[in-house]
Amino acid sequence: MRFCRKLAKSLTVFLLALFSALFVMPAAAAEIDVRNVQLTAVEDGGFLLSADFAIDFSPRLEEAVSKGLALHFLAEFELTRPRWYWFDEKVVKSQQTWRLTYHALTRQYRLSTGALHQSFTSLDEALRVLSRLRNWQVGERERFASGENFAAALRMRLDTSQLPKPFQLEALSNREWVLASEWKRWVFTVPAAPAAAPAVLSSPAPASVVAPPPATDAVTPAVTVGADAK
């Protein structure tokens, strides 16, 4: 009996330890918060998107980028037309990417998007620029009717699919590699297009009145020649 009680106690301790190992809270994930979103129409017919992102970098990501690992960030924007008779129609789907790297020789961080490259002396400076999205053209005005309502959505995340394979596997189990925002959703109403300025029809200038030239065929008075006196 004593042996059975010791065995049961040992088994209970083992199960409690196993339970704690399986359900222990994982490390807190890094986060991105989307703020100050503005979607505006401009005179040339496009929609421009601006937003701010509060990026909470984890120590693991700071260490990775400082050792030369390139991190790719992805901003995604969607514009959806609600339809009561069928599935909603996704009319706009745009993406913008950034690449964050560190160069040990120059001791500078580089942030690249498209053909634009900027260098910074600190990670905080690079993240400050990354966190400000300005004047991103995401649509063309002529495709939408004035007053039409759409469901707009924006998010930013670390694109782990661009990491090397060993880091992709680590990202599956380590929440310190999870850096993403929730979808920021709002209703966007297409503003009225600016009215075109009415065309001004200018009447032709009145023709100048030119006085007729003086007549050249003047009448010469007749001269009477008298007869010679006898």
Q: What is the pLDDT of residue 194?
A: 60
* Structure confidence by residue, pLDDT tens digits, 56-102: 998 999 999 999 999 999 999 999 999 888 888 999 999 999 999 99
Query: Of the ranges 16-30, 158-172, 178-192, 199-213, which one carries the lowest mean pLDDT score?
Result: 16-30
pLDDT confidence of 212, banded at 50, 70, 90? low
What are the DSSP calls for 107-146, one per residue? Answer: TEEEEEETTEEEEESSHHHHHHHHTEEEEEEEEEGGGS-T
Tell me what the pLDDT averaged over the chain comes to.
79
Q: Which residues contact 73 (CB under 8 A, 6 or more apart)?
A: 97, 98, 99, 100, 130, 156, 157, 158, 159
pLDDT confidence of 152, banded at 50, 70, 90? very high
Cα 61–66–69 angle (5° rounding)?
70
> Which phi and psi angles does 111 have, rounded to 5°?
-120, 125
Q: What is the pLDDT of residue 30?
A: 57
pTM metric for this prediction: 0.70
Name the residue with higher pLDDT: 146 or 94: 94
Question: And the tokens for 35?
Answer: 């703020």
> Which phi and psi angles does 100 have, rounded to 5°?
-110, 125
Alpha helix ranges (H) inside the chain: 2-23, 59-66, 123-130, 165-173
